[in-house]
A = this chain, B = another copy of it.
Amino acid sequence: MKDEIALLATVTLLGVLLQAYFSLQVIYARRAFRVSPPLTTGPPGFERVYRAQVNCSEYFPLFLAALWVAGIYFHEGAAALCGLVYLFARFRYFHSYERSAELRLAPMYQSAGALWLLIALGALGLLSHFLPAPLRAALLGWLRTLLPWA
């Protein structure tokens, strides 16, 4: 089992590190803008950093769930790669949002795209898992003509 999920586990741990990094940024922003817990409102500069972290935290469980379903039922390497794209987009989202609410949009759409791709790959993988064997073979054959590198 360990061999088939090692890439997923690696991307998962990278994601945990990224979320921990975002949490530290909120702590630094609390100091810089003098916003003490339990307050979460303050200058717009603080609120943007705080909202960026909250948004990334809300999506993190969705990301992990889609990553693992896609990685187990579709293709581990493809899912791990999408996962890296997602995490990199989230990193850019966080630092863009820090600068302005407007700038967050482009990396936000990119991270959403990576997440939807993971969901689609997971759905495709599960569909092929539940299909009777002849239909599954036909589906896989069709996918291979679409994605010759898979």
The chain A residues found within 8 Å of chain B, CB to CB, are 1-2, 5-6, 9-10, 12-13, 15-17, 19-20, 23, 36-40, 44, 47-48, 50-52, 54, 57-62, 64-66, 68-69, 72-73, 97, 101, 104, 115, 119, 122-123, 126, 129-130
Known interface pairs A15-B65, A16-B66, A61-B64; A6-B37 also in contact (CB < 8 Å): no
Known interface pairs A9-B126, A129-B6; A101-B37 also in contact (CB < 8 Å): yes
- Taking a contact as CB atoms under 8 Å apart, the answer to whether A12 and B58 are in contact is no
Tell me, in angstroms, the Cα distance from A79 to B13 when the chains sit together. 14
Q: Report chain B residues within 8 Å CB of A40.
A: 51
Q: Report chain B residues within 8 Å CB of A122.
A: 9, 13
- Taking a contact as CB atoms under 8 Å apart, the answer to whether A2 and B60 are in contact is no
